[in-house]
Amino acid sequence: MNRFFPVRRWLPIAAVAAVSACGSDSTSPSNGPAARIDAVADENRSAQVGATVPGGIVVKVSDASGRPVVGASVALAVTLGNGVTMPRVAVTDSKGQATATWTLGTIVGQNQVTASVDGVASTISFTAMGVAGPVTNISITPQNPRLLVNVDTVRVSAKSLDLFGNSAAPAPTLVSRDPSLVTVDASGLVRVVRRGSGTYIVASAGGKTDSVLVTVLATGQSICTAAANPVELSVGQVITDVSGQGFCVHAATANGEYALIPFYDSGVPSATTSVEVRGLGLTAVPLPSPSLIPRPSLFPAGPPIVPNDAFEADLRARERTEAARRFGNSAAGLRALRDAVAATSAAVPAVGDLIKLNANAIDFCDNPSVRTGRVMAVTDKAIVVADTENPVGGFTPDEYRSIGVTFDTLVDPIDRAAFGTPSDIDNNGHVIMFFTQAVNELTPAQSSTVTLGFFFARDLYPKTAAPGPCVGSNVGEVFYLLVPDTAGVVNGNKRSKSLVTTLTNGTVAHEYQHLINASRRMYVNAVGPVFEERWLDEGLAHIAEELNFFRAAGRAPRSNLDATIFNDPAVSAAYSTFSINNFRRYGQYLARTETQGPVGFDAFDDDLPTRGAIWDFLRFAADHAAATNENNFWFKLVNSKTSGMTNLTNALGVAPNTLLRDWATSVFIDDNALSVDPRFQQPSWNARSILTGAGTSTPFPLVTRLLNADGSLLSTSLVGNGVAFLRFSVPNGQDALLTTTSGGQTLPSSVKLSVVRIR
């Protein structure tokens, strides 16, 4: 114990013994392990929303002997409310205490932080009630009420709000500025006294005031009087930056159809906002005329099989989590990574050679599942390997070679031209295409989806050298691919050779983008294993599929391809191989435009609707912002030191907000009117035709809403980059007024409104 309590030689023996005994009491510090966590600060408190909780969070960590543990990491998780702690992980001091500040969330109600430490099963929960702050704003609804000639009363509601929009006290009082026009009682009921003018109802509370204009219309006055000037739109016209306070449409013809399009231009994709729309003077929307748009009869072809995108999403998530944990991105770590693979060299094997490959698709590095493969073909860029345990009746050597040649002559040059040259960490100038039943085994019996194949970034890491190591790495550029199984040997799932051939080429085109993106970040662009955010990485992989379609079909972007392409068997086959799944995902997005967007949140949102949306947006961006050299646009996105929205902004040269809004508008209006402003067109595809086969029996899956003709509110909620399509019609020769609010308040500037006319 002398290292804690030095003893001078002249102390009496009894004193030495006493001091030594003190060294083992429960107050002396310990280095662990931790055995107990206790609260030091009060566990139940209250504070104003958005404020720091007095006393913060303080816990004590002790070992099994009750001694305070020094240097223990205490994780502080916000488990109720939307508050925050600083830091999120606190380290214990010499007293075993970890301390953090706690700022409550912005919503009235219970907040909770749970403190935990590794090795201790129990946790500590601190709760605090968030109470409303003082009145900072008055909310009045409806905004700008209008009393038509046959309406004599309207009810106005007013609430006191704190800084964060919570209901506060005291409640507002209401006063009419012109009681000779309208009166208002304590309940908010407004009564008409005379007509033909307007005045304000004023609400006051806590030293704050706000007001709404009440307009009382007289016989013969336009419904838009004192609100907005009537605007007459031509078919296909789009008016952007519309005011939520009031937009007036004048109809000069009968049976016109319009749409109000709110787009939530939020920098936080997971944010939400409410939108309420009231239309006065509307009429029922007429049925569309089928003769407006040409309708060939042929429906799209394609394999009756749906890829298991969830598997790939989980795989990409494991890559990012494990890479950050194992390898980091320090300069020293990156140098070590590059040095480790630079020393690697593998000879090109000969046809017939046996090689061993780890086919574990779940574990990142540490649990190899080694399969033996036989080299079936070697082409200019591909080594085609077949698992020796594959079901009988699979591809012949000539068929394997044909797949390799397709990679050499189609997929490799297309993906390289767009995204860049991949790494070659084994220095053999080839990628390995491993056809293994290990991929078939990933699909359970009778599953509605199938895992088609994958690329795994773990193969780009060294097997033994630092950083890492990754003993499961195959130290090369490897694709793992589905194999034919005509008898359904693996889990009873039958896979014909023709089906697998069709699926393979599209899968490789997709996965090759992932390989190029990851490998160039690691070994070319000096970013290391800090991969692209998944939503953008997946969007680029779907672009890779589309680019291969254009080449295989002999077609080009900006040709507005429609269902007539299916009359050409070669083009229809290319669509089935490379494009059908892009449109399947886009169709999923069209059914959820209000709750989904092209930009994922937390770097992990890449579900089917997001994938469909980001593919279509990237195509729109290339068609409008990079049409003269779109490969330069793709190359910039892949060869970047940034990721996500920052990367997209840099590649475009401008923040994409306006382009996203224009794209969202195009989702509704493109090929939906006889003439459309080119700014809002999707020049490469007629998605309405493609997704319906241009027939009348399959409806276009875009979900729209009808504005209420009776003037009642229509409400919806939008996520960041979400968009709604609210259709309406106006009687011939009449005016209609549209007003929009959010939570009963003035629409925030982040909600962009457009009005379009489609017929």
pLDDT digits (tens, 9 = 90+) for 737-752: 999 999 888 899 999 9
Which tops the pLDDT comparison, 605 or 296? 605
What does the pLDDT read at residue 571? 95
List the structure tokens of 169. Answer: 């006290």
Q: Is the Cβ–Cβ distance between 211 and 203 less than 8 Å?
A: yes
Q: Which residue type is seen at 518?
A: A
| DSSP code for 81 | S
Q: Which whole number is the average pLDDT over 646-663?
A: 96
d(CA 545, CA 586): 14
pLDDT in tens, 540-575: 999 999 999 999 999 999 999 999 999 999 999 999
Architecture of domain 36-131: Sandwich (2.60)
- Indicate the SS3 state at residue 321: helix
Measured between alpha carbons, how far is 757 from 728 in angstroms, rounded to an integer?
Answer: 10
pLDDT for the residue 340: 63
Which tops the pLDDT comparison, 18 or 321? 321
Residue in the structure block whose two tokens are 């419904």: 223
Helix axes 397-406, 497-523, angle to 10 degrees: 40
Position 745 scores a pLDDT of 83
Indicate whether 15 pLDDT > 60: no
The answer on pLDDT for 24 being more than 60 is no
Q: How confident is the model at residue 507 (pLDDT cuts 50, 70, 90)?
A: very high
pLDDT at 290: 44
Mean pLDDT of the chain: 89
- Give the percent of the chain with pLDDT over 90: 74
DSSP reduced 3-state for 281:
coil
Q: Retrieve residue 585's tokens.
A: 């995902």
Question: Considering the chain, what percentage of its residues have pLDDT values greater than 70?
Answer: 89
**Contact (Cβ atoms closer than 8 angstroms) between residue 133 and residue 49:** yes
> 36-131 and 137-293+695-757: same fold?
yes
CA-CA-CA-CA torsion sign (516, 653, 603, 101): positive
Query: Predicted confidence band at 688 (pLDDT cuts at 50, 70, 90)?
Result: very high
Report pLDDT for 309: 83
pLDDT mean over 483-492: 96
Q: Is the pLDDT of residue 292 over 90?
A: no
| CATH 3.40.50.720 at 137-293+695-757, yes or no | no
Distances (CA, A) of 264 to 106, 196, 668, 682: 21, 37, 16, 20
pLDDT band at 332 (very low <50, low <70, confident <90, very high): low
How confident is the model over 382-399, as pLDDT tens digits? 999 999 999 999 999 999
**CA–CA gap between residue 33 and residue 145 (Å, rounded):** 67
Whether the predicted pLDDT of 337 surpasses 90: no
Start-to-end Cα distance in the chain:
90
Distance of CA 87 to the CA centre of its chain: 27
Q: pTM (2 decimals)?
A: 0.78
The pLDDT value recorded for residue 6 is: 39
Identify whether the C-beta of residue 670 lies closer than 8 Å to the C-beta of residue 617.
no
Overall average pLDDT of the 240-251 stretch:
95
- Name the range with the highest mean pLDDT among 268-277, 296-305, 434-443: 434-443
Residue 500 dihedral angles phi and psi, to the nearest 5°: -65, -40
Q: How many CB atoms lie within 10 A of CB 34?
A: 21
> Does residue 328 carry a pLDDT above 80?
no
pLDDT digits (tens, 9 = 90+) for 695-718: 555 788 999 999 998 888 999 999
pLDDT of residue 30: 83
Burial (CB count within 10 angstroms: exposed 0-12, middle 13-18, buried 19+), residue 645: middle
Residue 316 has a pLDDT of 85
What pLDDT shows up at residue 325?
67
Q: Where are the alpha helices (DSSP H) in 452-533?
A: 497-523
pLDDT at 288: 63
Domain boundaries, the chain: 1-27, 36-131, 137-293+695-757, 296-531
Which pLDDT does position 236 carry in this prediction? 95
Pick from 380, 374, 436, 437: nearest CA to 407:
380
pLDDT tens per residue, range 209-230: 999 999 999 998 999 998 899 9
Given the structure tokens 């900006």, which residue do they identify?
A: 558
Cis peptide bond upstream of 54, omega within 30: no
Mean pLDDT of 660-680: 96
Q: What is the CB-side half-sphere exposure of residue 738 using CA atoms within 13 A?
A: 33
Three-state DSSP at 250 gives: strand
pLDDT exceeds 50 at position 124: yes
Residue 1, pLDDT > 50, answer: no
- What pLDDT score was predicted for residue 670? 97
At 21, is the pLDDT very low, low, confident or very high (cuts 50, 70, 90)? very low
CB 195 within 8 A of CB 217: yes
Question: Which H or E run contains 211?
Answer: strand 208-216
Q: Which of 11-25, 51-65, 131-145, 623-637 has the lowest mean pLDDT?
A: 11-25
Neighbours of 537 (CB within 10 A): 25
Query: Which of 362, 327, 263, 373 lies closest to 656 in space, CA to CA?
Result: 263
